[in-house]
Amino acid sequence: MDEFTLIKRLESLKTIKPDRDWACSVKSQILNQEFEQKPSFSFIFSQKRLVQAFASVAIVLAIMPFAFAKDALPGELLYGFKKVNESIKYAFIVSEDQKSVAQLETRLNELDKISAEPGQNQGKKLAAGIKETKQALSKASQELAKVPESQRAELVTKIVNQISAIEEKTNAAIITTEEKEYQDIYKFFIANEIKEIEAREANLNQEQKDSLSKAKELFDQEKYSEAMELLYQIQPNN
Amino acid sequence: MQPKEFKEQFFSQIYKEYLDKIYRFVYFKVDSEEIAQDITSETFARLWKQISLDIEIKNPSGFLFKTARNILVDHYRAKEKNPANLDNMSFMVKDEHQNIEQKIIKDEEMKKIQLAMAQLKDDYRQAVFMYYIEQEPISEVAKSLGKSSNNARVIIHRGMKQLKKILEA
């Protein structure tokens, strides 16, 4: 068979066609098939998706310590995260004195919790807690000096009472007279105490009156600790 | 996402243009009209799936021939059947649409050509089929094979050479 004949024969094969009825029925059968679009493997693991997934995991990992640090105590691993949380929380408090008092109260609450939970690391936690409280107290002391006297008295009394209660519970000294940075708070507190006792001077006996005037002298000489001791001895008869 | 009507219209256009070609292409390789119909319908069903799922088909001809070839390979793997057999070619003359030209197929020579076509290497068969039977231009043959026009020319030439060799054997 020569090439020309072969080509002619091949061309004639084009006459082979599928059955028309079959062609129509197959077409309608095919068009009736419905396919659900599923996310493809390449779509799920496309670079963009991968970056998004990693970013989400990173965000979760970054947020997790902050969430778990809510109840962390000084000396614990997550305590740093708690303090960052706190600074964000207190950022909304405009007044610096209120902010410092709130922070100090938080520190005192922590000390209270530590003293209530005896355990292996209680000593370590207590030391860390006292350090934190002292720092907060120093800051609060500076800020309270800026507050008007009328508002300051109540705050100072509250703080000193809380500190005294914690000192009693933990058997630790938070405010020591040697540390000048806390003297302001003592000064405010003692001044306030003197005022209160003076208001009830009529109820004092002579000995108490002498102690009060001696305490006032010591206060003027900035001997706050000694003044405080004398004031504690005065028990006005209401 | 394209509306369903648009997808159906797109599919219908391709179906109309390629149904006969794919059917013939498959038919030259398999040994029955029924199997040719099954493989052809499966080929177009896969095309419809692509269209339905909004997967872009840049080259429908290439897609259809490649899919048909893959299904043919699967068919032979599964059934371990031999390619076209002369005895089964006889149904073609029973086609109700047959005309005088189709009656030529009865000729023993035609049967030999069909058998020889079935024995060609896939690329050669597709190239010879598209160029000589479907009378597609070289550019279309190249597109369908996924080759350059020059490569397609070479494949057609080699295919014809091999076809003659089989017929002379």
Digit-coded pLDDT (tens) for B94-135: 444 445 454 555 567 777 888 888 888 888 999 999 999 988
A12 to chain B, any CB pair closer than 8 A? The answer is yes
Query: CATH no. for residue B8?
Result: 1.10.1740
Percent of chain B whose predicted confidence (pLDDT) is above 90:
37
To the nearest whole angstrom, how far is the Cα of A2 from the nearest Cα of chain B?
A: 9
The pLDDT score that the predictor gives to residue A11 is 86
Of the partner residues A9, A14, A22, the one whose CB lies closest to the CB of residue B37: A22
The Cα B132–Cα A9 span in angstroms is: 9
Rounded to an integer, the average pLDDT of B10-24 is: 93
User: Which domain, by its residues, includes B52?
Assistant: 1-83
In a domain, B12, yes or no: yes
At A148, list the tokens.
């008007």
Residues of A in contact with B45 (CB under 8 A): 30, 33
pLDDT of res. B128: 92
Domain count, chain B: 1
pLDDT band for position B156 (cuts 50, 70, 90)? very high
Q: Judge whether B50 lies within some domain.
A: yes
Assign B62 to helix, strand or coil.
helix
Q: Residue B115's pLDDT is what?
A: 85
pLDDT at B91: 39
Distance CA B70, CA A11 (A): 25
Residues of chain B with Cβ-Cβ distance to A9 below 8 Å are 104, 109-110, 113
Cβ-Cβ contacts under 8 Å, B48 against chain A = 30-31, 33
Q: How many Cβ atoms sit within 10 Å of the Cβ of residue B37?
A: 19
Give the pLDDT score at B88: 45
pLDDT of residue A45: 57
pLDDT tens, residue by residue, A111-143: 888 878 777 777 888 888 888 888 888 888 777
Question: If you average pLDDT over every residue of chain B, what do you get?
Answer: 82
pLDDT of B66 above 80: yes
Nearest to B133 among A13, A18, A30 (CB): A13
Mutate to test the interface with A, among B8, B88, B94, B97 (most CBs of A within 10 A): B97
Given a cut of 70, the residues of chain A with pLDDT beneath it are: 37-46, 94, 176-181, 235-238
Tens-digit pLDDT profile for residues A175-210: 765 566 677 777 777 888 888 888 888 888 888 888
Residue B71 burial (C-beta neighbours within 10 Å; 0-12, 13-18, 19+): middle
| Chain A residue with minimum CA distance to B38 | A26
- Phi and psi torsions of A52, nearest 5°: -65, -40
Pairwise CB contact (< 8 Å): B11 & A3: no
Position B141 in a domain: no
Query: Does residue B152 fall inside a structural domain?
Result: no
Mean pLDDT of B158-164: 91
Q: pTM of the entire structure?
A: 0.47
The one-letter code for the residue type at B116 is: A
Mean of the pLDDT values across residues B127-155? Answer: 90
A178 touches chain B (CB under 8 A): no
Q: Does the structure show a pLDDT above 90 at B47?
A: yes
Q: Express the helix, strand and coil content of chain A in percent, nearest 5 each.
A: 75, 0, 25
Task: Say yes or no for a CB contact (<8 Å) between B110 and A7.
Answer: no
Cα–Cα distance between A188 and A144 in angstroms, integer? 9
| Residue in A10, A33, A37 nearest the CB of B133 | A10
Burial bucket for residue A149 (CB in 10 Å: 0-12, 13-18, 19+): exposed
pLDDT computed for residue A43 by the predictor: 56
Q: Is A24 on the interface with B (CB under 8 A)?
A: no
Chain B residues with CB under 8 Å of A37 CB are: 53-54
Label residue B10 by pLDDT band (50, 70, 90): very high
Query: Does the distance separating the beta carbons of A30 and B8 come in below 8 Å?
Result: no
ipTM: 0.75
- Which chain A residues touch B133 with a CB distance below 8 Å? 10-11, 13-14
Average the pLDDT over B13-42 and give the result: 90
